[in-house]
Structure 1
Amino acid sequence: MEFDTKTPKSVTSDPKSFASESVRMRWPVILTGAIDDIFKAISSTDDAEKQAEGKKIIEQLGSLKYEMLHDRQLTPIPEDGFPDETAAYNKELEQLGNPTWFQVPWLFAECYMYRRLNTFFTLTNHWKSYDLFARQKTDTFRTSRNAVVELAARYADIIKKIRADKDITHDPETEKILFTEMCEVCLWGNATDLSLLTNMTYEDIQKLQGSEARKAAEQNILVNNLPEAFALLKKAQAEGKKERRVDFVLDNAGFELYVDLVLAGYLLNTGLATHVVLRPKSIPWFVSDVLPTDFAALLSALANPKGFFESPTEEEKVSEKTPAPLAPKEVEDLLYVFQDWATLHGEGQLAIRPNRYWTAGGSFWRLPHEAPELHEDLKQAELVIFKGDLNYRKLVGDAWWDATTPFAEALGPMGPGSGVNVMSLRTCKADVVVGLPAGKDEELRATEGGRWRFRCQKMGLER
């Protein structure tokens, strides 16, 4: 806490905040879904010991939900094999005065919930590596089929043209346009966040994806520094740097990871980057966040697109619906994408590098002090792309900044002088926002749906 911003943080006690809505409405729904998932998993096994452990997990989930709904105190996290982590969480819990659920900093409480939830599994014999959100992530990716197929065709067309005529990447205007399109695809992919879409139908989710949705949403980009990002990567390329790395601090699995890979593959195929490092979480986190296994699952789905996309989701099974077969051209494009990404991964250009610090309970203002080795590693990249709302909140300390505060200032120790080029691709969902022109925040709050219906791209280029 000593390295945090002194600007007041978002707290669950503010009745008008998204933090208050989260603890009272969103999180209990998420825990209910977790209980349903374990019930299904128990029914699919004949192992008596696993069933008994599963029933205990359900009891723990129910108790956590009860504590939350009745504003009980947050209790210490039991040691589960990572003593430094649990000690850090419990020390902060004590420093906060052992708060209740309705009277606690939002960022810490949300991270605490998922970290404590994980102990329910790690302290068992049969459920240690179980991802209780995997079923949801898989089903939601299946519902993204139309957008996945559309982007596969677009990606295959672009990459084939690049390989057939390298000159296409030497036309500055074409390069810039393609880079911008790929980054915007990567931004809009963040519209699918399972922790927020608890009350949406699959049809609602599909409307958030696809080219028409992207075109309609362009007016909602509030701050756009993509030209500076492009110039940064082009400069490194022109200087002939042998290794030009771009890191992705990942957010959601499924469709968002897919669009992250679209951008990553584009950067590698054009030479704007020579290496891409994907940085997933190490434990199930915020429902839909990427685990290393999610990367493998996505490649597996693309390697067998008919088997994956023609299988019904849980919802489709209940309603007895059967997905339409993929067209031969759709299968061809999806297999092309798989082969491209599998090759880049196999040759070491596309790497997976998890770090348990991404599931710590505090903001990234602490990162240079608490995780110096990780900080040094990030400094080796030309650009570090932080995906999603949680990473944005952590970057700016989840604090009540004035909306006109410069992004570089709100980054604190991760801003100017940190040695890290930070780019944030974020769908604006939480309360915190910085870098807006004077009067813009007030204008957005006055619109129907408020500021949360808009999107932000924010970027800092200071080292």
Structure 2
Amino acid sequence: MSPADPTPQVVTPAVPGSFPWSVLHDRHPKLVAGVRDAHPYGPDQRRALDALVAESLTGVIARLPADAHDAARWETWGTGHYGRRWFDVPFLFAESYFYRRILDAVGYFAPGPWQGVDPYAYLKSAEARTSSPSTGSLRELLVAAVWGNRADLSFRIGQHGGPADEGSLVVDDSAALCAALEAGLGRELCLVADNAGGELLADLALVDHLLATGLSERVAVHVKPYPYFVSDALATDVAECVSVLDPATRDRLLAAAAEGRWTLRTHDFYRAPLSYHHAPEDLRAEWSAATLTVFKGDLNYRRLVGDAHWPALTPFADVVEYFPGPVAALRTLKCEVVVGLAAGTLAALDASGEEWRVTGAHGLLQTAGLDSRPGSSPAPG
């Protein structure tokens, strides 16, 4: 959007009973209890986890230890937030920093037996081994990738989504996306992954189809650099998902990787508590070099459009005009942020009486810039 356009209010967890408030008040303590009970952590780790929950509920935000490898970066990212209540800062920061603090509590970065041990691996592994990869046409695989996003393990903690079907897509740009891919727009495709497990299996099925059919010459799958929102995909999760694929698909993907046609990428900014408007130039350059970038999931969507109270009728293309290339977003709705709805769709959803923004029963497939190749001018804000 242009600098003259009003910026919507940033989402915070301040309102009791709101969805962001319930995440901090209910979901996070349940998550920590699950992690605590699933590992043979020692007393120091358990005390640190319990102290983090207490701090997040009744205390103020403390800084990382001064000797943390990323203390300086979080000092910058958290400017203006330290010393405030967790419920009084932007929701995106509160969530991101809470997950960073979990890693600190369990010793993920510290020398010792728990260094580099993903505290959520037990959840992700079970999800991967009980899910089935998608099959079908290009459109069917795209839609499967939308609904694969329901495999969000943080969302499942205390939540139950409704049934998912094609009629639950509140925005469906799949026809335009299929046409663009078949016309060559996916030649150099960047897929920014969200969750491991079933969603990642659906993503890999899509990647395999694009490469096997020649719709893509090269696909780069971007994953998180280390554990983030419980089920966020890491390189190790990709390896595990590849191992449970059917032999033919697995062999094709391994061959594509060996030939450099399928690559894994990561960037430290993928765990930042900031929108993608603030992405560093080297990451923007990767998106700009792609002929199409596909963002998966709720968290990527919040960061793509900005984690703010956007009017739902705001055009998606207007919100992402800062992005340096054609873009698609595939997600199920598990948070309140959404743009690009048609007026009739919004009216029907609001009249339904359900909390349609957060149940996971609805999804969307949105696109922007498919008919052009935007330049890489600086992002607003």
Q: Fold-level match, TM-score > 0.5?
A: yes
Match of 1:346 in 2: 258
Q: Do residues 427 (structure 1) and 346 (structure 2) align? A: no
Over the residues paired in the alignment, what is the CA RMSD in angstroms?
2.3
**Match for residue 232 of structure 1 among 180, 188, 207:** 180
2:231 to 274, 288, 307: 288
Q: Is the 8 A contact 1:365 1:412 kept in 2?
A: no
Question: Which residue does the alignment assign to 2:78?
Answer: 93
Q: 1:80 to 1:448 in 2, by over 3 A?
A: farther
**1:363 matched residue in structure 2:** 275
- 8 Å CA contact retained: 1:80, 1:123: no
Q: 1:221 aligns with which of 161, 169, 178?
A: 169
Partner SS state of residue 386, structure 1: strand
Moved over 6 A (4+): none
Offset of residue 412 of structure 1: 5.3
Give, in angstroms, the shift of residue 350 of structure 1. 1.1
Determine which of 291, 294, 309 is the counterpart of 1:382. 291
Letter in 2 for 1:137: K
Length, aligned pairs only: 363
Deviations 1:34-87 (A, max 9, x none): 111223xx5xxxxxxxxxxx43222211110111222x111112255544xx33
Aligned to 1:445: 350
User: For residue 51 of structure 2, what is the aligned residue in structure 1?
Assistant: 63
Would the aligned equivalents of 2:52 and 2:101 in 1 still touch at CA under 8 Å? no
8 Å CA contact 2:326–2:368 kept in 1: the answer is yes
Amino acid in the other structure paired with 1:223: V
- Within 5 Å, which residues of 2 pair with 1:191-270? 191-199=150-158, 217-236=165-184, 244-270=187-213
**Residues 224-263 of structure 1: CA distance to partner in whole angstroms, max 9, x if unpaired?**
22233233333337xxxxx921111110101111100110
Is 1:184 aligned to residue 149 of structure 2?
no
CA distance in 1, matches of 2:47, 2:248: 46
User: What is the deviation of 1:393?
Assistant: 0.5
Alpha-carbon distance in structure 2 between the residues aligned to 1:97 and 1:36: 29
CA gap of 1:89–1:412, structure 2 versus 1, over 3 A, is farther
Residue 343 and residue 79 in structure 1: after superposition, are their counterparts in 2 closer, same or farther (change >3 A)?
farther
Q: Partner of 1:423: helix, strand, or coil?
A: strand
In the alignment, residue 192 of structure 1 is paired with which amino acid? A
Residue 294 of structure 1, CA deviation? 0.7
| Higher helix fraction (1 or 2) | 1
Q: Do the aligned partners of residues 236 and 222 (structure 1) sit closer, same or farther apart at CA in structure 2, a change above 3 Å counting?
A: same
Distance in 1 separating the partners of 2:97 and 2:241: 28
Counterpart residue type for residue 9 of structure 1: V
Q: Distance in 2 between matches of 1:88 and 1:272?
A: 39
Per-residue deviation, 1:119: 2.5
Distance 1:228 1:94, change over 3 A: same
2:104 corresponds to which residue?
Answer: 119
1:394-451 CA-partner distances (Å, limit 9, x unpaired): 111111011110112222532xxxx321110011110011001125334313325321
Q: Deviations over 1:158-179 (max 9, x none)?
A: xxxxxxxxxxxxxxxxxxxx22
**Per-residue deviation, 1:377:** 1.2
How many Å separate the matches in 2 of 1:106 and 1:356?
A: 20
- Taking the aligned partners of 1:448 and 1:139, their CA distance within structure 2 comes to 34
Kindly provide the amino acid, as one letter, of the partner of residue 114 in structure 2. W
Bigger Cα displacement from structure 2, 89-98 vs 259-268: 89-98
Aligned to 1:326: none
Letter in 1 for 2:267: N
Does the C-alpha gap of structure 1 residues 339 and 92 become closer, same or farther in structure 2, counting only changes over 3 Å? closer
**Whole-Å Cα distance in 1 between the matches of residues 312 and 321 of structure 2?**
16
Tell me the alpha carbon deviations over residues 292-348 of structure 1, each in whole angstroms, 9 at most, x when there is no partner.
11111222334xxxxxxxxxxxxxxxxxxxxxxxxxxxxxxx222222222222222
Q: Deviations over 1:149-204 (max 9, x none)?
A: xx3xx46xxxxxxxxxxxxxxxxxxxxxx22111011111111110010136xxx8
Could you say what secondary structure the match of 1:395 adopts?
helix
Q: 1:425, 1:458 within 8 Å by CA — same for their partners in 2?
A: yes
The one-letter code sitting in structure 1 at the alignment partner of 2:282 is E
Mapped to 2, the partners of 1:420 and 1:98 lie a distance apart of 39
User: Which amino acid is 2:74 matched to?
Assistant: Y
- TM-score normalised to the size of structure 2? 0.88
* CA separation of 1:69 and 1:96: change in aligned 2, threshold 3 A: closer
CA contact (8 A) 2:61 2:85 kept: yes
Once residues 75 and 182 of structure 1 are traced to their aligned partners in structure 2, the CA distance between those partners, rounded to angstroms, is: 44
Cα contact 2:13–2:21 (8 A) shared by 1: yes
State the alpha-carbon separation in 1 of the partners of residues 67 and 199 from structure 2: 30
Alpha-carbon distance between aligned partners in 2 of 1:25 and 1:263, rounded to the nearest angstrom: 35
Q: Which consecutive unaligned segments of at least 5 residues does structure 2 have?
A: 375-381
SS in 2 for 1:94: coil
Q: Helix, strand or coil: the match of 1:27? A: helix
Quick one: distance in 2 between partners of 1:97 and 1:58?
23
Specify the code of the residue in structure 2 equivalent to 1:7: P
Calculate percent identity across the aligned residue pairs: 32
Q: TM-score, normalised by structure 1?
A: 0.73
Q: Distance in 2 between matches of 1:375 and 1:232?
A: 22
Aligned match of 1:279: 222
